[in-house]
Chains A and B, each alone.
Chain A
Amino acid sequence: MNVPIISVKDVSVKLGDRIVLDSVSFNVEKPSLILVLGPNGAGKTTLIRLLLGMVKPFRGDVKVLGLDPFAESTKLRSLVGYVPQKDKISYETPLKVSEVVLMGILLKKKFPRFPSKKDVESAKKALAYLGMEDKWDSFFNELSGGQQRRVLIARALASNPSLLFLDEVFAGLDFESQENLLNVLSMLKEKKRTIIIVEHDLDPIRDLADKILVLNRNICIYGEPNEVLSEDKLKPLYPCLRTVEKDGRQIIFLGDKHA
């Protein structure tokens, strides 16, 4: 029997006195792109932090790539890539793109974390994969928002992870940058990577998603997009939801304001 890529059974997480995730259960069986949606404060980022072993559940069982994220955190973290929300980055620290991408490799190495020739090659390869090789010597904080997001994805890919966590990477991007990012995710999907992507909005990622997980402290809906994306199912979570028909396609505005 194949080990699921992610297995979460009846997991509850508290932050302080507040229950942020309550009896969450779901499995990811095969390489796929999972879109995690939910209103503000639904626990989306906490779910990622849980899967990375950064927060401990007070109940339930979590396995990621067959590993316990807490007991086997070192091994697990060497197998995953992570792109945080943009407000977690300090733009006051003037790092070059090369240093940012290498960070994804060196953080997984043991002290003193000196980059080898192979590490530099891997970092350059990851950057080239994102079409950003000419930015190697540029300062990260001088790039556009879309370019920065691609560099951060290159950083996550540099160590060749089998599982990728992306936290609101589409937030605040213009149309062209969104298209670029979608192409990158599409290429990663073709390479059979598992991608867990947390977003506030369905668009532009909905067409790439293999499954959608709608979270509001517990899992409200989890299934393929055609099962999930109906007004009846989403309306209880998003009272301001609106649907519009355009060119035979149903466009859904969730109507949840970003915090």
Chain B
Amino acid sequence: MLDPFILRAIIGIAFASLSVPVSVLMLLRGSLYITSEVSHAALGGAAIGVLIQTFIPDLMDPFFFVVIFCIATSILVSRAGKSGQQSLGMMLSVSLAVSVMLYAVIRSYLPIEKRVIVDSYLVSDLLLLSNFDILNLAIASTVTVIAATIFYREFIYICFDMETAEALGLKTGLYDSLLFTISAVTVAVVSRMMGVLLSVTLLIIPAAASRLLTRHIDKMLVGSFLIAFLSGLGGILLSLYSHIPTSGAVALISILVFSLIYIIQLRKPH
């Protein structure tokens, strides 16, 4: 029988991996870099969420605020991106500054037991996930996967040719915002699992590695899930046998997987 801590970590990584294919859509959209920037917003959302929870304990789990912050940042950044590189750069810097400011200021007013919760969003440990965390991740991942599946065709069309999609009547602004929204939920899920600092390893590496492996979009989606899930399992195993933090081990395995794929692709004749 598996230890409940390990079981929760495996279930958690499975749900997080399920939402990772959304990063492939963001990669095809040319906006994957935004996900790492949006992950910083998770920190500000967590700080606000924990602060509110301190005063009104049963109102809402901090994860809810993490999701809201990530979605708001993602939408704002996508809007800024349409106004040009300067606005985009400014918005990315401002969102990072606001999140870190909220984290630093609010954290200093929190009791020590609450600081631990906020800090767990900065550097997380999969083995410390609670049943409630798993439930939150399951709901968020499921919503993400369902939305990505239902609107897959629309997302691919705006990635490939937004101009024609709009010309032929697709509400491109709506679907683009929806894609950025579900990507933000994915960021929130992965940030809860891995912590903001290491979340990029699951947000970007599986999508980038699967892009190197195949030209078929459907295989890229499946590939990114498998790379994320296997990196997660490998990381949990590595952490158990080497006593290094689980998130760090998962990040290490995913980086190794990417490097291996990259080297193999380099050696392949073109």
Q: Is the Cβ of A107 less than 8 Å from the Cβ of B165? A: yes
Q: How many residues of A contact B (CB 8 A)?
A: 31
Q: Is the Cβ of B167 less than 8 Å from the Cβ of A52? A: yes
Contact of A108 with B by CB under 8 A: yes
Contact segment of A93-101, A125-133, A211-219, A241-249 = A93-101
> Chain B contact residues (Cβ within 8 angstroms of A): what range?
20 to 34
Complex CA distance for A140 and B160, rounded to whole angstroms: 11
Q: Which residues of B contact A82 (CB under 8 A)?
A: 164, 167-168
Complex CA distance for A94 and B150, rounded to whole angstroms: 20
Q: Is the Cβ of B217 less than 8 Å from the Cβ of A74? A: no
Q: Is the Cβ of A73 less than 8 Å from the Cβ of B169? A: yes
Residues from 146 to 194 in B contacting A, C-beta threshold 8 Å: 150, 153-154, 156-157, 159-170
Q: Which residues of A contact B166 (CB under 8 A)?
A: 54
Complex CA distance for A115 and B28, rounded to whole angstroms: 22
* Known A-B contacts A82-B167, A108-B169; A89 and B161 likewise in contact (beta carbons under 8 Å): yes
* Known A-B contacts A90-B28, A93-B217; A100 and B168 likewise in contact (beta carbons under 8 Å): no
Complex CA distance for A246 and B56, rounded to whole angstroms: 86
* Known A-B contacts A94-B217, A108-B168, A108-B169; A88 and B157 likewise in contact (beta carbons under 8 Å): no
Contact of A92 with B by CB under 8 A: yes
Residues from 35 to 50 in A contacting B, C-beta threshold 8 Å: 49
Residues from 160 to 215 in A contacting B, C-beta threshold 8 Å: 165
Q: Which residues of A contact B165 (CB under 8 A)?
A: 103, 107
Contact of B269 with A by CB under 8 A: no
Bitwise, B77-108 to A at CB < 8 A (1) or not (0) is 00000000000000000000000000000000
Q: Is the Cβ of A90 less than 8 Å from the Cβ of B169? A: no
Selected A-B contacts with CB under 8 Å, 9 pairs: A80-B167, A84-B167, A88-B161, A88-B164, A92-B30, A95-B156, A103-B165, A104-B168, A107-B164
**Which residues of B does A touch, CB under 8 Å?**
27-28, 30, 150, 153-154, 156-157, 159-170, 215-217
**Which residues of A does B touch, CB under 8 Å?**
49, 52, 54, 73-74, 77-78, 80, 82-85, 88-90, 92-95, 99-100, 103-104, 106-108, 112-113, 139, 155, 165
